[in-house]
Amino acid sequence: MVATSMEQLVSLCKRRGFIFQNADIYGGMQGVYDYGPLGVELKNNLKAAWWRAMVYERDDVEGLDSAILTNRKVLKYSGHEDTFSDPMVDCKKCKGRFRADQIGGKCPNCGSTDLTDPRPFNLMFKTQVGPVESDENIAYLRPETAQAIFTQFKNVVDSTSRKLPFGIAQIGKSFRNEITPRNFIFRVREFEQAELEFFVMPGTDIDWHEKWKNARVQWWQDQGLKLEHINIYKTPDEDLAHYAKACYDIEYQFPHGMEELEGIANRRDYDLGNHTKNQEEFTLEAHCHENKESTTKLCIQDDNGKWVIPFVVEPSMGVDRGVLAVLTEAYTEEDLGEGNSRVVLKLKKHLAPIKVAIIPLKKNNEQIMTKCHELKAQLMKLGIGRVALENTGNIGKAYRRHDEVGTPLCLTVDFETIEQQPESVTIRDRDTMEQIRVNTADLAEYLRNYFL
Ligand code: ATP
Q: Tell me: do 19 and 135 sit in the same domain.
A: yes
Contact assessment for residue 307 and residue 201, using Cβ atoms and an 8 Å cutoff: no
Contact assessment for residue 363 and residue 369, using Cβ atoms and an 8 Å cutoff: yes
**Shortest-distance Cα residue to atom 24 of ligand 1:** 187
For residue 428, the enclosing domain spans 352-451
What pTM does this model have? 0.96
Side-chain-side CA neighbours of residue 340 (13 Å): 6
Q: Tell me: do 21 and 93 sit in the same domain.
A: no
Q: Tell me: do 318 and 303 sit in the same domain.
A: yes
Q: Tell me: do 148 and 91 sit in the same domain.
A: no
User: What is the C-alpha to C-alpha distance for residues 312 and 201, in angstroms, rounded to an integer?
Assistant: 9
Task: Please indicate whether residue 412, judged by its CB atom, sits closer than 6 Å to ligand 1.
Answer: no
- Hey, how many other C-beta atoms are within 10 angstroms of the C-beta on 441? 10
**Shortest-distance Cα residue to atom 21 of ligand 1:** 318
Centre of ligand 1 to C-alpha 379, Å, is: 39
Q: Tell me: do 302 and 378 sit in the same domain.
A: no
User: What is the C-alpha to C-alpha distance for residues 2 and 254, in angstroms, rounded to an integer?
Assistant: 10
Looking up residue 441, the CATH number of its domain turns out to be 3.40.50.800
Amino acid at site 152: Q
Q: Tell me: do 303 and 385 sit in the same domain.
A: no
User: What is the C-alpha to C-alpha distance for residues 46 and 349, in angstroms, rounded to an integer?
Assistant: 11
Structural domain contains residue 441: yes
Centre of ligand 1 to C-alpha 334, Å, is: 33
Q: Tell me: do 278 and 171 sit in the same domain.
A: yes
Looking up residue 61, the CATH number of its domain turns out to be 3.30.930.10
Structural domain contains residue 340: no
Ligand 1 atom, smallest distance to 260 CA: 18
Task: Please indicate whether residue 188, judged by its CB atom, sits closer than 6 Å to ligand 1.
Answer: yes
Task: Please indicate whether residue 187, judged by its CB atom, sits closer than 6 Å to ligand 1.
Answer: yes
Mind listing the pLDDT tens digit of every residue in the chain (452 residues)? 788 899 999 999 999 999 999 999 999 999 999 999 999 999 999 999 999 999 999 999 999 999 999 999 999 999 999 999 999 999 999 999 999 988 889 999 999 999 999 999 999 999 999 998 888 899 999 999 999 999 999 999 999 999 999 999 999 999 999 999 999 999 999 999 999 999 999 999 999 999 999 999 999 999 999 999 999 999 999 999 888 999 999 999 999 999 999 999 999 999 999 999 999 999 999 999 999 999 999 999 999 999 999 999 999 999 999 999 999 999 999 999 999 999 999 999 999 999 999 999 999 999 999 999 999 999 999 999 999 999 888 999 999 999 999 999 999 999 999 999 999 999 999 999 999 999 999 999 999 999 99
Element holding 89 (H helix, E strand): strand 85-90
Structural domain contains residue 341: no
Q: Tell me: do 172 and 61 sit in the same domain.
A: yes
Ligand 1 atom, smallest distance to 188 CA: 28
- Hey, how many other C-beta atoms are within 10 angstroms of the C-beta on 141? 18
Ligand 1 atom, smallest distance to 316 CA: 14
Q: Tell me: do 444 and 375 sit in the same domain.
A: yes
Structural domain contains residue 389: yes
Q: Tell me: do 139 and 117 sit in the same domain.
A: no
How many domains, in total, are found in the chain? 3
Closest CA to 320 of 190, 218, 179, 407: 190
Ligand 1 atom, smallest distance to 189 CA: 27
